Chain A
Amino acid sequence: MDNLNCFFSFYSIPDDRIPVPELLKNKDKRADSAARVAVQAAANALTGISAIDLTSLNVVVVNREGCKDHISKVTNGIKKNQPAQGFFVRGGPQTLATYTALALGSHGAAFTFVGDQKILKDAITTACYLACNTKDGATLLTAIVKKNDAGYQASTVLVLSNNHRFETIFSSLEQKMHNHLSHAFDMEIVQ
């Protein structure tokens, strides 16, 4: 497997009291807790990695629930005919990817797969293709799971290409990526 380099990382937080990540402090402080986890997981994954062209860094997130805290605020507001500012940009599942891109300043693709473990293999295919089909391409692929209504865990794979056309990824690497991302769904949070 000489045309893809992968870096793996894992992030967890045991409760919902998630501070605004440093990378967002001067940009937007109103991210939903799930989006804050996405940003923090991305920041951790990129620590110590310098050779990334942010112009072509893609951000892909896998998540089942989206920004439920924000949706609850919006839904409760509607009952009183009160609109919530920025309900779309702060409430949709895409927010997990767009807040991450905002925090990092990346200009590649930014979107979220909404689903469970079943969609991981498709997310991996997508992430690798996007990394390999843009010049100096890279994709940050993160699976984020809310655990037992308290806390989150996130598994991240940073996929870097060496400017080769992506034809097919070896099944062993695909399996390794899948296993790592599945950790977010399977593992209990370490207190």
Chain B
Amino acid sequence: MMDAFIVYPNAYTSLGHGEHLWKNLLQGSCGLSSANTVYHELFPDNTSKIGALKDLANNDSRLLQILQLIENFLIPDEAEICQLILGASSLGDLEGEFAGDPYGCITHYLQKNKPSIAKNFSGVISSACSSGTDVLSLAAIMVHQHKYDAIGVLAVDCLDQGKLLQHVTLGTQGQDRARPFDVNRSGTSFGEGGGFAMVVNSNGLKKLGADHVFKIHGFGMSCDAQHITAPDETGEIPALAISRALTASGLSANDIGYINAHASGTPINDQVESIALHKAFGKTLDSIAVNGTKGAIGHLLGATGLVEAILACWSLSHQNAPGTVGLENKDESLNLPVTIGGLTKKILKPIGLSTTFGFGGVNSAIVIESLY
């Protein structure tokens, strides 16, 4: 069992942040907007939905603007005690000074705006869409090993127009919107934003008066290693990440009450995730509340893992899973107990799982419990 806890989790998305974000999710609201209203010049006729943040300029580093936008909302004063700051991102900007260099961008931002914690920033975890989940897990390792008592994890990513162009061409951006596990799903809705949390051990916890504490029981990672662009269609290797997370936690499938699924809404990824969940949970899956949030906030790229783990924390503490916005007609062939958009589902056990599956075949799962 790991000596690792999450405190002060918060996320900033196109649907808001903090309590406002949580209420919007419960109400089944959607923060997505049409691509042509955000990037009119490049996509004048594209009405597919994206989770872009409002009022960002197109002629400056989008990642830097997002960092500046979220800093006052996400990073609490308590972060001053963090002995290490770890970032998570995928590619960040694709143009300009920080093209493909989120490490450089976050370093620049922290030195300019948060010098007191900039000195403890050491690097960025990069594992594509799993980056945000992995940064939580790696921070858990380090506090568990008592290398540090408190670590701040900051996951952030942006959707500039060049990146959207890539995804539209690739076919991963859905034709209309993310419809996770829906029979009419056609791709995801990419988005942007960020999340921040502190990961502490028992010593770190004693120094803080956190109102809500979430225990990290364990995590699991795997890599398909079969094709650089296509996922493992058998679901065997993604299932390995989930079963490793349960084993590392010393828990069984019966202990899990909630799953925040990756639920990207692409035809193949949802199918593979469904197979992996069935392999890892068997018949127990029927009794678990399952949802996905990309239909409400978008797929936040390298930040998605941390943001969704944070939303999982909130769901567990409220014992309530928001519905899966965008899901209207369940794909019955997937046979998942996933909650339809606009509804909510009571979570019966305080322990949950958050999964992410990234490009390059990286799979990650983390087990979290709401303590108080």
Contacts and interface: CB of A to CB of B under 8 A. Distances in A.
A74 B141 CA distance: 35
A48 interface: no
List of 9 A-B pairs having minimum Cβ-Cβ separation, nearest first = A115-B123, A71-B100, A98-B360, A109-B221, A111-B127, A78-B162, A110-B223, A119-B123, A83-B169
A114 B102 contact: yes
Contacts of B228: 27-28, 86, 89-90, 98-99, 102
A34 to B, nearest CB: 12
A99 B225 CA distance: 8
Given A98-B360, A114-B103, A78 B125 contact: no
A176 interface: no
A5 B141 CA distance: 20
Interface string A63-80: 011111001001100110
Given A74-B166, A94-B127, A86 B103 contact: no
Interface in B255-272: none
Nearest to A167: B145
B124 interface: yes
A113 B87 CA distance: 10
Given A81-B42, A89-B229, A115 B222 contact: no
Contacts of A122: 84, 86, 122-123, 138, 142, 147
Nearest to B129: A88
A121 B248 CA distance: 23
B94 interface: yes
B162 A125 contact: no
Interface stretch (A6-14, A126-134, A144-152, A179-187): A126-134
A160 interface: no
B95 interface: yes
Nearest to A103: B225
B359 interface: yes
15 contacts: A28-B227, A58-B221, A74-B94, A75-B99, A88-B128, A89-B359, A92-B90, A92-B128, A102-B225, A107-B223, A108-B223, A110-B221, A113-B124, A114-B125, A129-B145
B352 to A, nearest CB: 21
B149 interface: no
Contacts of A58: 221
A110 B145 contact: no
Contact of B223 (A65, A101, A113, A125): A101
A40 interface: no
Contacts of A99: 228
A66 B92 CA distance: 12
Most buried by B among A64, A67, A119: A119
A89 B223 CA distance: 13
B300 interface: no
B27 interface: no
A118 B122 contact: yes
A116 B360 CA distance: 24
Nearest to B145: A125
B94 A114 contact: no
B360 A95 contact: yes
A94 B248 contact: no
Given A59-B223, A119-B123, 14 more contacts: A66-B126, A81-B165, A83-B169, A88-B128, A88-B166, A92-B91, A93-B126, A98-B128, A98-B361, A102-B227, A105-B225, A106-B225, A112-B127, A122-B123
A153 to B, nearest CB: 19
A81 B237 CA distance: 36
B244 interface: yes
